[in-house]
Structure 1
């Protein structure tokens, strides 16, 4: 496989590094600027000659104050990256969708480097999609000149481009696995339910998804009204957003992320909405077999909630007073006593962390696994290992800690810092288990082969769950008590 590849939009020239062929900054759509701002993605305009794709493209504008790289931010950000072995020919494809609360993230983040997947004989791809106000805020409820789900449209267009072009890079277009963590994993679940994404992939991996973070008109309006109030823009003047620089909207977006839960406890951050791209809630669509052609791995971290709960200004309820208000707003205050009993015996701070984990990540992931396992092969896991540093910080097996393990990037990116001071033997053992399972799944549709403990397929009756730890094991229905309390608590559904 040469470094000059002909795609449907034109030729691209990559580079070789560490024995791996790489193409960075390939445009997969028209730049969403000018008249295309707040509009859904349009297909890439073909170019003449050979486009040099040897450095990362612009990252999306970030709507939280976190600096991941020095790559410049721009609204012209719809680029993707590809890593491939030098002699790639009809190899399986692994596509990573970054997380970041639908507010931060970029495919140029070293945490998401694909070199080691390519060394394992898998073509790896990642792509940018619009974030925050530009990608996931739905102003179409006020003005139909705005489109909804722009970030979702980006994701579908990127997957379409990969499906149509990956064979030219040595990939098997009929063997594509999509994967992601947090909002990236939620995006994976959304792609399972999106009609326009059907047929673009065969397998999916969702690491700590937030399957419930898909808004109806009610919860969308609560969030958008709050944002406009902070911006001091009336709903009838929402058109003013079209000419503001992204940085002028960042403060209000950050305010919304950390204050909407104070006003409406239990509401999710702004994200995808129900519309023609996602016609019904993904969990409901999955229950009806919308993803019956897709094999799935889904799981959570033991302490997924620890990153999101503090004394105030948090994305999830931080006190029992907020929990009671959450239940009152949603007319299910009768569940309050059972929630108290569920988390009895630990400090209030720990109770809120557990509550956040159950509400956002665990229970809905179990629902997805229960339904999907009735249609196709499904495996469920829980990542329990807590590195030394996160134990010292009280975060334990915190949200996102498994990413450098799963992607075999312990030497790259910010998240690797979680693992500082942890025994290399333990890190490499966990990597050899989890990363190899992901590679096996991408290649064959089965995560087993290298695991010393057999990982059985999931079923909704016994719910076998693979526990990644120093000593792996299988637990049957390990979260049944939490699930039974939470399964009928429906928040912001009207």
Structure 2
């Protein structure tokens, strides 16, 4: 297979490196600029000649700081593809990055697809719009705006992959989608959406923040603050169509800090309920939206530490906030039970870490596993390994710590501090286990094959959970107490 391939839209030329073909910066939709700002993704227009795909495309505007790099742009809907230079009908793995729907891009080295490609898998990663451009809902003020633009990007990318991946050596009938954190939540949203039927066969959701799906009324609490801080009246929302990205960043960062003060425990941004997602994702999955899809889902043992230890402003900062969150949602009578449930953890910070882990990640993941296990093969895991640096810093098996292990990529950025000092043979053992399980699942629909013990399918009776650690194990129903407590509590849903 050559580096020049014919897609539905025209020819694309990539490059070959050490036996792996790579196509970087492949456009999968029209640039969402000008009149397309705040509009859902629009299908690409076919081109003449050869589209050069030899360098990374622009990344979306990042809404976690006030810096704008020269490669940030609204013109960001590009994907990267890796595949063996010789191969056809290979299974396809599609990675969706996390970052609180506020930051991240497919060009992050942590998401490099080279090692998947070496194993005979076509690896795809794509950008989608973030922050106000992708996930803020202004439709209640002005119907010329669209909701769920970022979700529409993800759906458009999956359609593009389904229609064109054969040209890159992939099997369009064996596609696995995967993601972590907000990317994991995206996986659940895509499992739920009626617009994704037939676009993929399997899914992997790592640490999904499933609950960050909002009603229009809840989303309005965010957008009202945004407009207030930008000095824009409700009847002047049209001004957002020409606002400078830096000014938009300033407004969104203020919202992030302000929303938790006014409504502790509410998500700043996420998908909203509309035609792309007609109900909350778990309710759509209960109705069979993902009936034909096999699923791996799981969390890390200490999801809350990264947010609590860093003072991340999107989450409650103390029991005063927890109390207000309960009162705002008519659960104040549950406060004594919370104190009792988390009494075994010493200090307010440790209690907050556990509450955040349970409320934001663990319980909803179990809920999804309960639902999907009735519809198709479902496997649940927990990542428990604590690298030396993370142990020293008091982070434990923190949020996102497993990503380069699962993807078999170089450990860089803040994660390098956590993994510093871990013997290479331990890292390789962990990669062989979790990345090996992912590869087996991508290829066959079953994660078993090279694991030292059998990873059993999840069911609501045993709730079998595979524990990834230096020595792997199985635990049945490991979170019964917290699941029974939180599972039926919904926050900011009925506004």
Contact 1:14–1:53 under 8 Å retained in 2: yes
Q: Corresponding residue for 2:304? A: 305
Q: For 1:71 and 1:14, how far apart are their aligned partners in 2?
A: 23
Distance in 2 separating the partners of 1:122 and 1:66: 38
Residue 230 (structure 1) aligned with residue 229 (structure 2) = yes
RMSD: 1.4
Report what 2:365 is aligned to.
365
**Alignment correspondent of 1:99:** 98
Residue 144 of structure 2 corresponds to which residue in structure 1? 145
Q: For residue 216 of structure 2, what is the aligned residue in structure 1?
A: 217
Tell me the residue number matched to 2:464.
Answer: 464
* Change over 3 Å in CA distance of 1:208–1:71 after alignment to 2: farther
> For the residues of structure 1 that align with 2:4 and 2:296, how far apart are their CA atoms?
35
Q: Is the 8 A contact 1:310 1:318 kept in 2?
A: no
Asked if 1:184 corresponds to 2:205, the answer is no
**Correspondence 1:47-446 to 2 at 5 A:** 47-65=47-65, 72-310=71-309, 314-345=313-344, 346-411=346-411, 415-446=415-446
| Contact residue 186 and residue 210 of structure 1 kept, 8 A | yes
| 1:66–1:416 CA distance, 2 compared to 1 (3 A) | farther
Contact 1:102/1:183, CA 8 A, preserved across alignment: yes
Q: Distance in 1 between matches of 2:312 and 2:398?
A: 19
1:485 corresponds to: 485
* 1:236 positional shift: 1.5
* Whole-Å separation in 2 of the counterparts to 1:311 and 1:27: 36
Q: Separation in 1 of the partners of 2:51 and 2:274?
A: 36
- Structure 1 contact 311–318 (Cα < 8 Å) conserved: no
Report the number of matched residues: 493
Residue 452, structure 1, aligned to residue 452, structure 2: yes
Q: 1:18 to 1:417 in 2, by over 3 A?
A: farther
Residues 118-166 of structure 1 deviation map (CA, whole Å, 9 limit, x = unaligned): 0111000000000001000001111111000000000000000000000
Secondary structure of the equivalent of 2:374? coil
Please report how far the alpha carbon of residue 169 of structure 1 lies from its aligned counterpart in structure 2 after TM superposition.
Answer: 0.6
Corresponding residue SS for 1:139: coil
Structure 1 residues 22 and 159, CA gap change in structure 2 (3 angstroms): same
C-alpha separation in 2, matches of 1:108 and 1:357: 28
On the 8 A contact 1:180/1:188 being kept in 2, the answer is yes
- How far did 1:238 drift? 1.1
The superposition leaves residues 274-331 of structure 1 with CA deviations (integer Å, 9 ceiling, x where unpaired) of 0000000001111121101000000000011111125866222121111111111101
Q: Which deviations, in whole Å up to 9, do the C-alpha atoms of 1:237-275 show, x marking residues without a partner? A: 111111111111112212222331121011012111000
Secondary structure in 2 matching 1:422: coil
CA distance in 1, matches of 2:251, 2:238: 16
Gaps of 5+ in 2: none
User: 2:308 is paired with a residue of what secondary structure?
Assistant: coil
Q: How does 1:5-44 map to 2 (within 5 A)?
A: 5-44=5-44
Q: For residues 425 and 119 of structure 2, what CA distance do their matches in structure 1 show?
A: 20
1:381–1:465 CA contact under 8 A, matched in 2: yes
Give the distance between the partners of 1:339 and 1:298, measured in 2 at CA.
26
Please, which moves more after superposition, 415-424 or 447-456?
A: 415-424
Quick check: 1:258–1:313 contact (8 Å CA) kept in 2? Answer: no
Q: Distance in 2 between matches of 1:440 and 1:491?
A: 37
Question: TM-score, normalized by length of structure 2?
Answer: 0.97
Tell me: CA distance 1:384–1:411, structure 2 relative to 1, closer, same or farther (3 Å).
closer
Aligned-partner SS, 2:290: coil
Residue 474 (structure 2) pairs with residue 474 (structure 1)? yes
Larger deviation, residues 253-262 vs 334-343: 253-262
Instruction: Return the offset for 1:377.
Output: 0.1
Q: Is contact 2:329–2:491 with CA below 8 Å preserved after alignment?
A: yes
Q: Quick one: distance in 1 between partners of 2:404 and 2:7?
A: 31
CA contact 2:462–2:476 (8 Å) conserved in 1:
yes
Q: Distance in 1 between matches of 2:284 and 2:487?
A: 17
Of residues 383-392 and 309-318 in structure 1, the stretch that sits farther from structure 2 once superposed is: 309-318
Shift of 1:474: 0.2
Cα offset, 1:115, TM superposition: 0.2
Query: Are 1:262 and 1:313, in contact at CA under 8 Å, matched by a contact in 2?
Result: no
The range that moved more, 69-78 or 7-16, is: 69-78
Q: Which runs of 5+ in 1 are unaligned?
A: none
* TM-score of the aligned structures, taking structure 1 as reference length: 0.98
Cα separation, 1, equivalents of 2:7 and 2:417: 38
**Shift, 1:18, TM fit:** 2.6
